Amino acid sequence: MDLFIQGFSAFFSLSSFLFMNIGLLLGLVFGAIPGLTVILCIVLFLPFTYTMGPIDSFMFLLGIYCAGGYGGSISAILINTPGTPHATATMADGYALTRQGKSKKALNIALQASTFGGMASALTLLFFAPQVAKFAQKMGTPEYFLVCLFGLTVIAGVSGKSLIKGIISGAVGLFISTIGLDPMTGSTRYIFKNINLYSGFDLVICLIGLFALSEVLSKSKKSNQVTLSSLEEVKQESGRITAKEYKRMSLPALFSAVVGIIIGIIPGTGASMASFVSYDRVKSMSKHKEEFGNGSIEGIAAAETANNAVTGATLIPLLTMGIPGDGVAAIMLGALMINGLTPGPNLFVKHGVTMYAIMIGLIFVNLFMYIQGKTLTKYFARVVSIPVSILTPIIVIFCFAGAFSVNNSLFDVRVTLAFAIIAYVFSKLGFSTIPILL
């Protein structure tokens, strides 16, 4: 109880709320614009967290993570194009309601469902993560070895269609991690007489190249130009949800929250799987199956509750055992290490106050996501219409500026470009880049 109170006190500061809301706004924007992703946003702004403390840093990053989950539904509902992959399950019913002149109601359902799922997941993290950590502290060397092996199974979940390609990507990442000075013997490895390679590659530099800049390269040829007709519709309609509709959505939302939490805890799954599994199960149990795909409020509630219920749950294996549940959690793993926090059972022993502050903060992240979503959603029809051709040069500048700011080195900028090219080639050949990070 003392840690809970101290954690709440550590979290409750003006800077935490400020960075949280900035992160939420960025997450909403990046999630809502087709072609941009939550991973891109987190990696792009990760260098700016260097000057923040661990609590402020994670309030900022968790704001992006959670808001991006809801933001993807905005474009899915308004323009029939999911802003994020896990919003695909929302698209059919959400856009069907838009065609019926009920886009504001669809957005309202998505926002409330996302908030409910996120809150349920945050409470699960708060109550279960410390207990899992206590259990993990009792593990010996054999158990740790098995946990490490289990952690490698995440590669299977993020490898795409080919496990062999995932293993190859993981091997490439393993080789890259060996470049520089050996921490045990002090001998050099694969530096090719380049003094810049003595300390290896900075994690943030790798992340920017592998995920941010490469994503821009792959999306730059695509266009997301749409009309602004949805804006007037969102402004004009009321979007009120009736008591009868709440009653219809309550059980699907509860069921989907449980499904999302369970799937989120399992490494290698993620929000996309949670949203599709929940949508399919709710459809099979519904008394109104004919509405699914034609504007079902149950379908929107199920998909959006499930994909945001993953957010807190996926942090449980990450914080307690150092096993990331999905691609975003893998980047969060890097963010923890950048802040001097090594994930694992001892994290709650050595940094208990910080961990409780982060877990309590996740509850407030979801509350403020609802407030921002309620206030700003009506303006997002303009945001989703911004062409990728305009956004691309802006993001590229941010990528290179972020890479340079890490060590004030032009060498890091060249490394970022090299990693971006590697990731782009891997993507074209069907290789996933997430195993490289793992």
Q: Would you list the DSSP string of 369-422?
A: HHHHHHHHGGGHHHHTTS-HHHHHHHHHHHHHHHHHHHHT-HHHHHHHHHHHHH
CA 217 → CA 36, 40, 165, distances in Å?
Answer: 11, 12, 21
- Inform me whether the pLDDT recorded for 234 exceeds 60: no
- Is 245:102 a contact under the CB 8 Å cutoff? no
Q: How far apart are CA 7 and CA 359, in angstroms?
A: 9
Q: Is 240 left (phi over 0), alpha (psi -120 to 50) or beta?
A: beta
Q: How far apart are CA 101 and CA 312, in angstroms?
A: 34
- pTM of the predicted structure, to 2 decimals: 0.78
The percentage of the chain sitting over the pLDDT mark of 70, rounded to a whole number, equals 84
Average predicted confidence (pLDDT) for the chain: 82
pLDDT of residue 46: 85
pLDDT band, residue 227 (cuts 50/70/90): very low
First to last CA, the chain: 34
Q: How far apart are CA 216 and CA 207, in angstroms?
A: 13
pLDDT band, residue 226 (cuts 50/70/90): very low
Mean local confidence (pLDDT), 135-158: 65
pLDDT of residue 113: 94
- Inform me whether the pLDDT recorded for 211 exceeds 80: no
pLDDT of residue 363: 95
pLDDT band, residue 141 (cuts 50/70/90): low
Range with lowest mean pLDDT among 30-44, 290-304, 418-432: 30-44
- Residues contacting residue 405 through CB under 8 Å, at least 6 positions apart: 47, 48, 50
b/e burial code for range 7-18 (CB count within 10 A of at least 16 → b): beebbeeeebbe
- CB-CB neighbours of 167 under 10 Å: 15
pLDDT of residue 77: 86
User: Most distant CA pair in the chain: distance in Å?
Assistant: 71
More confident call, 26 vs 214 = 26
Q: What residue type is assigned to position 145 of the chain?
A: F
